[in-house]
Amino acid sequence: MVAPMQHELGPFTVADWHALPPREDGSRLELIEGYWLVTPAPSGQHQFAEKRVVNLLDSAIAAAEEATSPAERQELTALSGISVEVSTADRTGIIPDFAVLAVAPVGTTFRPSDALLIGEIWSPGNTFAEQRRKFEACEREKIPFFWSIAQDNLGPTELVTYRLIGRRYEQENHLKLGDGALAITASPVPVEVDIAHLRYSRR
């Protein structure tokens, strides 16, 4: 990722974003620095990968809870497709592909302080500018972990994870298709990921 670019905010606000009705065609409407970003409904392979990632995180959270005393246990939940009001000042609200929350999963919109991890599965049509702006928005709001998953027309091919160090994300793990299962350390809980497990294959 590159250094942030300074530019004028668009005319739309987070309040405008909240006021819009849900989209009936399954597409996602996000607000990035005051401008609308509409993405089509996720493909089947995209949704398959999204489900697999959430299931992996759920299992890792359950394992971490079992190893922790009730007094020390933190409420964590892995979800997909939630709204995160990243920044009112920067006029940004996103719908990440998956997230780990540190609050009860109740409500329609969550604050950046509620999220420990934000993850995106980039479709081939996502531009680098879109990717950069979401990454930087999460970085500015100090969300501890960010996962970036690249995919081809069959599903994920690569995972890059970042940990917030000070005010900047630093890359921590880089996993490619064919690497097998590897431990991911840039995560609220320890988790192993195998990119092949995130791709659909006939049984």
Residue 203 binned pLDDT confidence (cut-offs 50, 70, 90): low
Residue 82 binned pLDDT confidence (cut-offs 50, 70, 90): very high
pLDDT mean over 67-76: 82
User: Would you give the end-to-end CA distance of the chain in angstroms?
Assistant: 37
Tell me which fold the domain 14-198 belongs to: tt1808, chain A (3.90.1570)
Residue 7 binned pLDDT confidence (cut-offs 50, 70, 90): low
| pLDDT over 90, % of the chain | 69
Q: Rg of the Cα trace of the chain?
A: 17
pLDDT mean over 94-121: 95
User: Domain map of the chain by residue range?
Assistant: 14-198
Q: What pLDDT does 122 receive?
A: 95
Q: Dihedral of CA 198/123/87/137: which sign?
A: positive
Q: What is d(CA 149, CA 156) in angstroms, rounded to the nearest whole number?
A: 6
Position 174 pLDDT exceeds 80 = yes
Position 152 pLDDT exceeds 90 = yes
Q: Which of 21-35, 53-67, 167-181 has the least mean pLDDT?
A: 21-35
Stronger pLDDT, 73 or 60, i.e. the higher one = 60
Instruction: Please answer whether residues 175 and 199 qualify as being in contact, where contact means their C-beta atoms are separated by less than 8 angstroms.
Output: no
Position 2 pLDDT exceeds 80 = no
Q: What pLDDT does 3 receive?
A: 42
| pLDDT over 70, % of the chain | 96
Q: What is d(CA 142, CA 164) in angstroms, rounded to the nearest whole number?
A: 7
